[in-house]
Amino acid sequence: MAHFEKANSLNEWLDQRIGINTLKKVMQSEYWIPKNINFLWAMGMVLAATFGILLVSGIFLLMYYNPSTDLAFDSVNYTIMTEVGYGWLWRHIHGVGASLVFLIIYIHMFTGIYYGSYKRGRELIWISGMLLFVLFSAEAFSGYMLPWGQMSYWAGMVITNLFSGGSLHADGLVEWIRGDYVPGQAFLGRFFMLHVLLMPLAIIGAIVFHFGTLRLPHVNNQDGEEIDFEESARLWKEGKVKESKVIPFSPVFLSKDVFVMGVYFILFFYLVFYHFEFAMDPVNFDPADGLKTPTHIYPEWYFLWSYEILRPFPTDPGLVAFAIAQVIFFLLPFLDRSPNVAPASRRGLFHFWFWALLIDMIVLTFMGKLPPEGIWSTIGLVAAITFFVLWIALPIITKFEKKL
Amino acid sequence: MSNRRDFMGMALGGFTALGGIGALYAMKRTWDPLPSVKAAGFTTIDLKDAQENILVTEKWRGKPIFVLKQSKEMVEKAKKSDELKRLIKIGDEYYMVAVGLCTHLGCIPGYDPANESFLCACHGGMYDGTAMVTKAPPPRGLDIPPFRIDGTKLVLGEEGPEYKKMLADGTTMKV
């Protein structure tokens, strides 16, 4: 038996048993954040808050949702939307949240790319972040199946068909994934499980890992400056707050975060209450029907760029291109050969590369939504090729980048 | 006594790996299509009542199946374009039987009896009365489901000699 003194407060009692003061120091009061940052550094906590909101709204949806092919559509569109008190609120929060979480993920990603926050000790932050992107994509896709409307069914059909590998005709694998020849009860059941349990568990684990990768290298700053965190921390603790280049995560940095979150949630709830329809595809308000295809099948906006990389090529090269596009971002820390950690604006050709990539992905997104006809399919093809040219060019242009 | 520790470590590791492999196999099998799903993968359709140039849509493994009894002129046309091999002959009659999903992106084409052709509304692909593609983008004619002839009936899902011949000479792909 270890020796314990009588505690004089709850805090002391907890500290004796689980070292809560050490925990607070490591995670909050002595986790140092540079002062030289802007509102884009708040996106991480905005994402965490959005995930929390998705979790809460999901819990309430789960209580009346029915994962059966006969009942799923009505349980969402009739029971939850018209009978359950405020059921519509949870659904609209969940739908809008799923869409906005990707908007913020993209902003978060491109912030990291712009400021070079993926190199020199920060590689794992980037890789765990990309892992989260993949997990959120799987979470979004599996969730999209659940209302069992026409878009759910046909998106499920088309996406699982990708696993046949084009000319490989691995139809056995596709049937194994579906548990049936076409999406049916087995398919809905397993995607329901993935959406409400396995994926959220994996996401929570990956978030913890993502935070962990951040603790030692610390977050980057607007100039990519290498900061002596120990020296700065000493200054702060001595009361020389002005001289110190850092602030503690909590409560100082967090209060900045909360301000940005406040602005963000005004937008969020404006969309939830007044423009939720952008996250609700009208085609998905027809129940799933395996004997009738919608005229145009397209994914939600956040998958359009990669869908457009698949589409303009013939089947096999298209699949290869699609597969590469899914993983290429993971390699960013290794394809960028320059040692410079600095904003793109000070990195010569890389500045051009950054904006070219961003604009190219926006073009791909728009083309993915338009029908693949005439000029649109040409623009889509050019944009898809540009995407690969940019990634091939990256190691070359960064190799010759002037050292700052 | 590092030998004893090594032995314990390897024994524990070995049995754990064995259990892990067993668990993975169980998980794979749980994810497999159910026997009832597999059993429902066979559908018998009777072609006796089919009428010339009138499209009948059946359902097999959740997919639409087109059945089109060919008229004399359609058979002549198919002979000329060397597409008779796509048709199923029962007695003296010829039938087109195919999975009604466009080979381009899987939409369901519509039939126009006046022109004896199929049109896919999604991207404008066209097929003739034997379901052979006549206008791109579809890469090939509609796929023929596995079948076995049983009198005037077809058992879809089973591979009879006539179907195996179609597979062998490349008339259709496996679906």
Q: Where are the domains of chain A?
A: 30-297, 303-404
Q: What angle do CA B101, B103, B105 make, to 5 degrees?
A: 85
Contacts of A295 in chain B (CB under 8 A): 107, 121-122
| Residue A181 to residue B106, Cβ atoms within 8 A | no
A142: nearest Cα among A125, A155, A129, A126: A155
Residue whose pair of structure tokens reads 């080979």 in the numeric block: B103
Interchain CB contact of B123 with A (< 8 Å): yes
Give the ranges where A275-348 is alpha helix by DSSP (H): 304-310, 315-327, 332-335
| Residue A179 to residue B33, Cβ atoms within 8 A | yes
Q: What is the DSSP letter of A164?
A: G
Interface mutation target, options B25, B122, B140, chain A, most CBs of A under 10 Å: B122
**Contact between residue B156 and residue B145 where contact means Cβ atoms under 8 Å apart:** yes
| Residue B37 to residue A291, Cβ atoms within 8 A | no
Interchain CB contact of B63 with A (< 8 Å): yes
Q: A104 to each of A200, A261, A388, how far by Cα in Å?
A: 18, 11, 24
Interface mutation target, options B28, B123, B173, B174, chain A, most CBs of A under 10 Å: B123
Q: How far apart are CA B86 and CA B130, in angstroms?
A: 6
Q: How far apart are CA A357 and CA A51, in angstroms?
A: 27
Contacts of A178 in chain B (CB under 8 A): 33
User: Has the ipTM of the complex gone over 0.90?
Assistant: no
Q: How far apart are CA B92 and CA B71, in angstroms?
A: 11
Residue type, B25: Y
Q: What angle do CA A85, A87, A91 make, to 5 degrees?
A: 165
Would you mind telling me the total number of residues written for chain A in this entry?
Answer: 404
Contacts of A186 in chain B (CB under 8 A): 33-34, 37
Q: A255 to each of A111, A195, A222, A258, how far by Cα in Å?
A: 20, 33, 19, 5
φ/ψ of residue B55, rounded to 5: -80, 130
Q: Which residues contact A183 (CB under 8 A, 6 or more apart)?
A: A145, A153, A156, A157, A160, A288, A290
Task: Calculate how close chain B gets to A319, using CA atoms only, in Å.
Answer: 14
pLDDT at A59: 96
pLDDT at A119: 93
For chain B, the average pLDDT equals 85
User: Please, what CATH class does the domain formed by A30-297 belong to?
Assistant: mainly alpha
φ/ψ of residue A177, rounded to 5: -65, -40
pLDDT at A260: 96
Q: How far apart are CA A338 and CA A340, in angstroms?
A: 5
Interchain CB contact of B174 with A (< 8 Å): yes
Contacts of B105 in chain A (CB under 8 A): 158, 297
Interchain CB contact of B38 with A (< 8 Å): no
What parts of chain A have a pLDDT lower than 70?
A: none
Burial of A323 (0-12, 13-18, 19+ CB in 10 A): middle
Burial of B67 (0-12, 13-18, 19+ CB in 10 A): buried
Residue type, A283: V
Task: Calculate how close chain B gets to A369, using CA atoms only, in Å.
Answer: 15
C-alpha A5, offset from chain centre: 47
pLDDT at A304: 93
Contacts of B25 in chain A (CB under 8 A): none
Q: How far apart are CA A120 and CA B72, in angstroms?
A: 76
B173: closest chain A residue by CA:
A169
Whether omega before B109 lies within 30 degrees of 0, making that bond cis, reads: no
Q: Residue A312: helix, strand or coil by DSSP?
A: coil
Q: Residue A118: helix, strand or coil by DSSP?
A: coil
pLDDT at A291: 84
Interface mutation target, options B27, B32, B36, B107, chain A, most CBs of A under 10 Å: B107
pLDDT at B1: 58
CA torsion sign for A266, A270, A273, A279 is: negative
Residues 213-272 on A with a CB inside 8 Å of B are: none
Residues 189-208 on A with a CB inside 8 Å of B are: 190
C-alpha A90, offset from chain centre: 21
What parts of chain B have a pLDDT lower than 50?
A: none
| Residue A176 to residue B32, Cβ atoms within 8 A | yes
| Structure-block tokens of residue A389 | 């040219």
pLDDT at B82: 77
Contacts of A315 in chain B (CB under 8 A): 139
Task: Calculate how close chain A gets to B27, using CA atoms only, in Å.
Answer: 12
Task: Calculate how close chain B gets to A193, using CA atoms only, in Å.
Answer: 12
